[in-house]
Structure 1
Protein backbone atom coordinates (compact mmCIF):
# COMPACT_ATOMS: atom_id res chain seq x y z
CA UNK A 1 0.00 0.00 0.00
CA UNK A 2 2.81 2.41 0.83
CA UNK A 3 4.34 1.87 -2.60
CA UNK A 4 0.99 2.55 -4.30
CA UNK A 5 0.57 5.69 -2.26
CA UNK A 6 4.12 6.78 -3.04
CA UNK A 7 3.32 6.58 -6.75
CA UNK A 8 -0.06 8.27 -6.26
CA UNK A 9 -1.92 5.20 -7.48
CA UNK A 10 -4.09 4.56 -4.42
CA UNK A 11 -5.22 6.33 -1.30
CA UNK A 12 -6.79 5.41 2.00
CA UNK A 13 -10.35 6.52 2.62
CA UNK A 14 -12.75 6.03 5.51
CA UNK A 15 -14.09 2.74 4.12
CA UNK A 16 -10.75 1.33 3.07
CA UNK A 17 -8.67 1.98 -0.04
CA UNK A 18 -9.50 3.38 -3.45
CA UNK A 19 -7.60 4.02 -6.65
CA UNK A 20 -6.65 7.56 -7.47
CA UNK A 21 -7.51 8.96 -10.90
CA UNK A 22 -3.99 8.07 -12.02
CA UNK A 23 -4.35 4.59 -10.60
CA UNK A 24 -7.74 4.03 -12.24
CA UNK A 25 -6.50 5.16 -15.65
CA UNK A 26 -3.45 2.91 -15.46
CA UNK A 27 -5.56 -0.03 -14.28
CA UNK A 28 -8.00 0.43 -17.18
CA UNK A 29 -5.11 0.60 -19.63
CA UNK A 30 -3.64 -2.59 -18.12
CA UNK A 31 -7.00 -4.36 -18.41
CA UNK A 32 -7.24 -3.31 -22.06
CA UNK A 33 -3.72 -4.55 -22.77
CA UNK A 34 -4.37 -7.84 -20.97
CA UNK A 35 -7.52 -8.38 -23.03
CA UNK A 36 -5.64 -7.78 -26.30
CA UNK A 37 -2.84 -10.09 -25.17
CA UNK A 38 -5.36 -12.84 -24.42
CA UNK A 39 -6.91 -12.49 -27.88
CA UNK A 40 -3.51 -12.59 -29.58
CA UNK A 41 -2.61 -15.77 -27.69
CA UNK A 42 -5.97 -17.32 -28.61
CA UNK A 43 -5.23 -16.71 -32.31
CA UNK A 44 -1.54 -17.65 -32.15
CA UNK A 45 -1.88 -20.78 -34.28
CA UNK A 46 -3.22 -18.82 -37.25
CA UNK A 47 -1.34 -15.57 -36.70
CA UNK A 48 1.94 -17.48 -36.84
CA UNK A 49 1.14 -18.34 -40.48
CA UNK A 50 0.88 -14.68 -41.52
CA UNK A 51 3.70 -12.29 -42.48
CA UNK A 52 4.91 -9.86 -39.84
CA UNK A 53 3.43 -6.86 -41.67
CA UNK A 54 -0.04 -8.37 -42.15
CA UNK A 55 -2.61 -5.65 -41.27
CA UNK A 56 -4.26 -7.54 -38.41
CA UNK A 57 -5.59 -5.46 -35.50
CA UNK A 58 -7.54 -6.19 -32.29
CA UNK A 59 -10.72 -5.02 -34.09
CA UNK A 60 -10.66 -8.31 -36.01
CA UNK A 61 -9.57 -10.53 -33.13
CA UNK A 62 -11.89 -9.32 -30.39
CA UNK A 63 -14.96 -11.58 -30.02
CA UNK A 64 -14.05 -13.55 -33.12
CA UNK A 65 -14.59 -17.23 -33.89
CA UNK A 66 -11.70 -19.43 -34.99
CA UNK A 67 -12.57 -22.26 -37.37
CA UNK A 68 -9.88 -24.85 -38.09
CA UNK A 69 -9.94 -27.87 -40.38
CA UNK A 70 -10.10 -31.13 -38.48
CA UNK A 71 -9.20 -34.64 -39.55
CA UNK A 72 -12.82 -35.73 -39.53
CA UNK A 73 -14.11 -32.39 -40.91
CA UNK A 74 -11.46 -30.78 -43.14
CA UNK A 75 -14.01 -28.48 -44.80
CA UNK A 76 -15.24 -26.74 -41.65
CA UNK A 77 -13.62 -23.39 -42.63
CA UNK A 78 -15.15 -23.63 -46.11
CA UNK A 79 -18.57 -24.23 -44.56
CA UNK A 80 -18.28 -21.10 -42.41
CA UNK A 81 -17.43 -18.94 -45.42
CA UNK A 82 -20.32 -20.55 -47.30
CA UNK A 83 -22.73 -19.53 -44.54
CA UNK A 84 -21.43 -15.97 -44.66
CA UNK A 85 -21.73 -15.67 -48.44
CA UNK A 86 -25.11 -17.38 -48.80
CA UNK A 87 -26.68 -14.85 -46.45
CA UNK A 88 -25.17 -11.82 -48.20
CA UNK A 89 -26.41 -9.39 -50.80
CA UNK A 90 -22.98 -7.90 -51.48
CA UNK A 91 -19.47 -9.20 -50.96
CA UNK A 92 -15.99 -7.77 -51.44
CA UNK A 93 -13.03 -10.11 -51.23
CA UNK A 94 -9.27 -10.54 -51.45
CA UNK A 95 -8.18 -13.77 -53.13
CA UNK A 96 -4.52 -14.87 -53.00
CA UNK A 97 -5.63 -18.47 -53.62
CA UNK A 98 -8.46 -20.03 -55.66
CA UNK A 99 -10.03 -23.01 -53.95
CA UNK A 100 -12.48 -24.92 -56.19
CA UNK A 101 -15.11 -24.92 -53.44
CA UNK A 102 -15.02 -21.12 -53.26
CA UNK A 103 -15.09 -20.75 -57.05
CA UNK A 104 -18.25 -22.84 -57.27
CA UNK A 105 -19.82 -21.08 -54.28
CA UNK A 106 -19.39 -17.58 -55.69
CA UNK A 107 -20.40 -18.66 -59.20
CA UNK A 108 -23.69 -20.08 -57.92
CA UNK A 109 -24.43 -17.10 -55.68
CA UNK A 110 -23.67 -14.53 -58.40
CA UNK A 111 -25.45 -16.28 -61.27
CA UNK A 112 -28.37 -17.89 -59.44
CA UNK A 113 -28.88 -15.82 -56.28
CA UNK A 114 -28.15 -12.27 -57.50
CA UNK A 115 -25.13 -11.74 -55.27
CA UNK A 116 -22.99 -8.72 -56.14
CA UNK A 117 -19.30 -9.49 -55.68
CA UNK A 118 -16.06 -7.59 -56.22
CA UNK A 119 -12.68 -9.33 -56.00
CA UNK A 120 -9.05 -8.35 -55.82
CA UNK A 121 -6.92 -11.18 -57.23
CA UNK A 122 -3.21 -11.80 -57.49
CA UNK A 123 -2.21 -12.27 -61.18
CA UNK A 124 -1.59 -16.06 -60.96
CA UNK A 125 -5.06 -16.55 -59.49
CA UNK A 126 -6.92 -14.72 -62.26
CA UNK A 127 -4.80 -16.59 -64.84
CA UNK A 128 -5.74 -19.91 -63.25
CA UNK A 129 -9.42 -18.98 -63.16
CA UNK A 130 -9.34 -17.92 -66.79
CA UNK A 131 -7.75 -21.22 -67.81
CA UNK A 132 -9.71 -23.67 -65.65
CA UNK A 133 -12.97 -21.80 -65.06
CA UNK A 134 -13.15 -19.51 -68.10
CA UNK A 135 -16.79 -20.14 -68.97
CA UNK A 136 -17.95 -19.71 -65.39
CA UNK A 137 -15.95 -16.49 -65.13
CA UNK A 138 -17.51 -15.11 -68.31
CA UNK A 139 -21.01 -16.10 -67.25
CA UNK A 140 -20.58 -14.42 -63.87
CA UNK A 141 -19.20 -11.26 -65.52
CA UNK A 142 -22.14 -11.19 -67.95
CA UNK A 143 -24.55 -10.69 -65.06
CA UNK A 144 -22.98 -7.29 -64.31
CA UNK A 145 -22.74 -8.32 -60.66
CA UNK A 146 -19.15 -9.62 -60.71
CA UNK A 147 -16.10 -7.37 -60.82
CA UNK A 148 -12.55 -8.72 -60.98
CA UNK A 149 -9.47 -6.60 -60.31
CA UNK A 150 -5.78 -7.47 -60.12
CA UNK A 151 -3.13 -6.28 -57.67
CA UNK A 152 0.64 -6.52 -57.89
CA UNK A 153 0.76 -6.68 -54.09
CA UNK A 154 1.18 -9.99 -52.32
CA UNK A 155 -2.07 -10.51 -50.43
CA UNK A 156 -1.28 -11.71 -46.89
CA UNK A 157 -4.57 -13.60 -46.45
CA UNK A 158 -7.92 -14.19 -48.03
CA UNK A 159 -10.69 -11.83 -46.97
CA UNK A 160 -14.46 -11.88 -47.35
CA UNK A 161 -16.57 -8.92 -46.22
CA UNK A 162 -20.28 -9.63 -46.56
CA UNK A 163 -23.21 -7.29 -46.17
CA UNK A 164 -26.92 -8.01 -46.26
CA UNK A 165 -28.97 -10.49 -44.26
CA UNK A 166 -25.67 -11.93 -43.05
CA UNK A 167 -23.04 -9.30 -42.33
CA UNK A 168 -19.54 -10.14 -41.24
CA UNK A 169 -15.89 -10.69 -42.00
CA UNK A 170 -13.86 -13.82 -42.62
CA UNK A 171 -10.08 -13.84 -42.83
CA UNK A 172 -8.87 -16.98 -44.59
CA UNK A 173 -5.39 -18.06 -43.57
CA UNK A 174 -3.24 -20.12 -45.93
CA UNK A 175 0.14 -21.73 -45.48
CA UNK A 176 2.96 -20.62 -47.75
CA UNK A 177 2.13 -23.42 -50.17
CA UNK A 178 -1.54 -22.45 -50.36
CA UNK A 179 -2.96 -25.02 -47.94
CA UNK A 180 -5.97 -23.82 -45.96
CA UNK A 181 -5.04 -23.41 -42.28
CA UNK A 182 -8.27 -21.93 -40.95
CA UNK A 183 -10.37 -18.79 -40.72
CA UNK A 184 -11.01 -15.97 -38.30
CA UNK A 185 -14.68 -14.99 -38.45
CA UNK A 186 -16.23 -11.93 -36.83
CA UNK A 187 -19.56 -10.11 -37.12
CA UNK A 188 -18.95 -7.13 -34.82
CA UNK A 189 -19.24 -3.59 -36.26
CA UNK A 190 -15.58 -2.97 -35.43
CA UNK A 191 -14.50 -6.03 -37.41
CA UNK A 192 -16.70 -5.03 -40.33
CA UNK A 193 -15.11 -1.57 -40.41
CA UNK A 194 -11.68 -3.19 -40.26
CA UNK A 195 -12.53 -5.47 -43.16
CA UNK A 196 -13.81 -2.62 -45.32
CA UNK A 197 -10.65 -0.61 -44.62
CA UNK A 198 -8.29 -3.48 -45.45
CA UNK A 199 -10.17 -4.30 -48.63
CA UNK A 200 -10.15 -0.64 -49.66
CA UNK A 201 -6.40 -0.44 -49.14
CA UNK A 202 -5.68 -3.27 -51.59
CA UNK A 203 -8.46 -2.27 -53.97
CA UNK A 204 -7.08 1.28 -54.32
CA UNK A 205 -4.07 0.09 -56.35
CA UNK A 206 -5.81 -2.75 -58.18
CA UNK A 207 -6.78 -2.55 -61.86
CA UNK A 208 -9.27 -4.30 -64.09
CA UNK A 209 -7.76 -7.14 -66.18
CA UNK A 210 -8.26 -5.20 -69.40
CA UNK A 211 -6.36 -2.23 -67.90
CA UNK A 212 -3.38 -4.14 -66.54
CA UNK A 213 -1.54 -4.77 -69.79
Structure 2
Protein backbone atom coordinates (compact mmCIF):
# COMPACT_ATOMS: atom_id res chain seq x y z
CA UNK A 1 0.00 0.00 0.00
CA UNK A 2 2.71 2.62 0.76
CA UNK A 3 4.07 2.42 -2.79
CA UNK A 4 0.60 2.89 -4.31
CA UNK A 5 -0.04 5.86 -2.02
CA UNK A 6 3.27 7.48 -2.86
CA UNK A 7 2.82 6.89 -6.59
CA UNK A 8 -0.55 8.66 -6.40
CA UNK A 9 1.22 11.62 -4.78
CA UNK A 10 3.90 11.59 -7.48
CA UNK A 11 1.22 11.53 -10.19
CA UNK A 12 -0.49 14.49 -8.53
CA UNK A 13 2.60 16.73 -8.50
CA UNK A 14 4.25 15.62 -11.74
CA UNK A 15 4.61 18.50 -14.17
CA UNK A 16 2.57 20.91 -12.04
CA UNK A 17 3.51 24.53 -11.67
CA UNK A 18 2.89 25.31 -7.98
CA UNK A 19 3.30 22.65 -5.31
CA UNK A 20 2.92 23.36 -1.59
CA UNK A 21 3.61 20.64 0.98
CA UNK A 22 3.36 20.53 4.78
CA UNK A 23 4.30 17.21 6.36
CA UNK A 24 5.45 15.95 9.75
CA UNK A 25 7.59 13.25 8.09
CA UNK A 26 9.46 12.67 4.85
CA UNK A 27 9.08 9.28 3.20
CA UNK A 28 12.76 8.96 2.39
CA UNK A 29 12.38 6.26 -0.23
CA UNK A 30 10.47 8.73 -2.39
CA UNK A 31 12.20 12.05 -1.66
CA UNK A 32 14.29 12.11 -4.84
CA UNK A 33 11.41 10.86 -7.02
CA UNK A 34 9.16 13.56 -5.57
CA UNK A 35 11.65 16.32 -6.41
CA UNK A 36 12.12 14.94 -9.93
CA UNK A 37 8.36 14.91 -10.54
CA UNK A 38 7.98 18.49 -9.31
CA UNK A 39 10.90 19.68 -11.45
CA UNK A 40 9.14 18.50 -14.59
CA UNK A 41 6.71 21.42 -14.34
CA UNK A 42 7.43 24.46 -16.46
CA UNK A 43 8.39 27.36 -14.19
CA UNK A 44 7.65 25.15 -11.20
CA UNK A 45 7.54 26.37 -7.62
CA UNK A 46 7.89 24.08 -4.60
CA UNK A 47 7.25 25.26 -1.08
CA UNK A 48 7.94 22.70 1.63
CA UNK A 49 7.17 22.92 5.36
CA UNK A 50 8.74 20.27 7.62
CA UNK A 51 9.77 20.04 11.29
CA UNK A 52 13.40 21.04 12.03
CA UNK A 53 14.40 17.53 13.15
CA UNK A 54 12.95 16.04 9.96
CA UNK A 55 14.99 18.51 7.92
CA UNK A 56 18.18 17.51 9.76
CA UNK A 57 17.52 13.78 9.27
CA UNK A 58 16.69 14.30 5.60
CA UNK A 59 19.80 16.41 5.12
CA UNK A 60 21.95 13.67 6.69
CA UNK A 61 20.34 10.95 4.57
CA UNK A 62 20.31 12.94 1.30
CA UNK A 63 23.15 15.48 1.27
CA UNK A 64 23.24 15.71 -2.54
CA UNK A 65 19.49 16.21 -2.80
CA UNK A 66 19.62 18.81 -0.03
CA UNK A 67 22.35 20.69 -1.91
CA UNK A 68 20.23 20.62 -5.08
CA UNK A 69 17.27 22.04 -3.17
CA UNK A 70 19.47 24.74 -1.64
CA UNK A 71 20.66 25.76 -5.10
CA UNK A 72 17.22 25.64 -6.72
CA UNK A 73 15.74 29.12 -6.93
CA UNK A 74 12.29 27.58 -7.47
CA UNK A 75 12.26 25.92 -4.05
CA UNK A 76 11.40 27.45 -0.68
CA UNK A 77 11.99 25.32 2.38
CA UNK A 78 10.72 26.21 5.84
CA UNK A 79 10.97 24.46 9.17
CA UNK A 80 8.11 24.56 11.62
CA UNK A 81 6.12 22.42 13.97
CA UNK A 82 3.42 20.78 11.86
CA UNK A 83 0.11 21.00 13.78
CA UNK A 84 -1.33 17.85 12.23
CA UNK A 85 -0.21 14.23 11.88
CA UNK A 86 -0.80 13.84 8.14
CA UNK A 87 1.06 15.06 5.08
CA UNK A 88 -0.76 17.75 3.10
CA UNK A 89 -0.17 19.03 -0.40
CA UNK A 90 -1.82 21.51 -2.75
CA UNK A 91 -1.07 21.67 -6.47
CA UNK A 92 -1.86 24.64 -8.69
CA UNK A 93 -4.73 25.65 -6.39
CA UNK A 94 -6.64 22.91 -8.22
CA UNK A 95 -6.11 19.75 -6.17
CA UNK A 96 -5.34 18.96 -2.56
CA UNK A 97 -4.38 15.73 -0.88
CA UNK A 98 -3.40 14.23 2.41
CA UNK A 99 -1.31 11.19 3.23
CA UNK A 100 -2.25 9.41 6.43
CA UNK A 101 0.66 8.25 8.57
CA UNK A 102 0.55 5.75 11.43
CA UNK A 103 3.24 4.33 13.70
CA UNK A 104 3.71 1.62 11.06
CA UNK A 105 4.20 4.11 8.20
CA UNK A 106 2.02 5.27 5.33
CA UNK A 107 -1.58 4.15 5.76
CA UNK A 108 -3.69 5.90 3.12
CA UNK A 109 -4.34 8.85 0.86
CA UNK A 110 -7.18 11.26 0.13
CA UNK A 111 -7.23 13.51 -2.93
CA UNK A 112 -9.91 16.09 -3.66
CA UNK A 113 -10.44 18.98 -6.06
CA UNK A 114 -13.64 20.54 -4.72
CA UNK A 115 -13.57 24.21 -3.69
CA UNK A 116 -14.40 23.22 -0.10
CA UNK A 117 -11.49 20.77 0.07
CA UNK A 118 -9.11 23.32 -1.41
CA UNK A 119 -10.25 25.97 1.07
CA UNK A 120 -9.79 23.53 3.97
CA UNK A 121 -6.34 22.46 2.73
CA UNK A 122 -5.26 26.06 2.22
CA UNK A 123 -6.39 26.96 5.75
CA UNK A 124 -4.42 24.02 7.19
CA UNK A 125 -1.35 24.91 5.15
CA UNK A 126 -1.45 28.57 6.16
CA UNK A 127 -1.86 27.58 9.81
CA UNK A 128 1.30 25.45 9.55
CA UNK A 129 3.20 28.17 7.71
CA UNK A 130 2.32 30.90 10.22
CA UNK A 131 5.35 30.38 12.47
CA UNK A 132 7.66 28.77 9.91
CA UNK A 133 11.31 29.72 9.66
CA UNK A 134 12.86 29.81 6.19
CA UNK A 135 15.81 27.51 5.70
CA UNK A 136 16.50 29.17 2.39
CA UNK A 137 14.50 31.40 0.10
CA UNK A 138 14.12 31.77 -3.64
CA UNK A 139 17.16 33.50 -4.97
CA UNK A 140 19.09 32.15 -1.99
CA UNK A 141 19.90 34.59 0.75
* Cα displacement string for residues 129-186 of structure 1 (whole angstroms, at most 9, x for unaligned residues): 111112212212312111111113453210011117xx311111000x2500001111
Describe the shift of the 1:96–1:80 C-alpha distance in structure 2 as closer, same or farther (beyond 3 A). same
Higher RCO (C-alpha under 8 Å, 6+ residues apart): 2
Structure 2 unpaired stretches of 5+? 137-141
- Aligned residue among 89, 100, 124 for 1:173: 100
SS at match of 2:116: helix
Assess if the C-alpha contact under 8 Å between 1:169 and 1:191 holds in 2: yes
Structure 1 unpaired stretches of 5+? 1-68
Q: Is the radius of gyration larger for structure 1 or structure 2? A: 1
Describe the shift of the 1:162–1:209 C-alpha distance in structure 2 as closer, same or farther (beyond 3 A). same
State the 4+ residue runs in structure 1 displaced beyond 6 angstroms: none
Counterpart residue number, 1:191:
117
CA distance in 2, matches of 1:185, 1:111: 21
* Cα displacement string for residues 100-133 of structure 1 (whole angstroms, at most 9, x for unaligned residues): 3431133213545453111110122101111111
Give the root-mean-square deviation of aligned CA atoms. 2.0
Assess if the C-alpha contact under 8 Å between 1:117 and 1:145 holds in 2: yes
**Is 1:115 the equivalent of 2:41?**
no
TM-score, structure 2 normalization: 0.84
Counterpart residue number, 1:131:
60
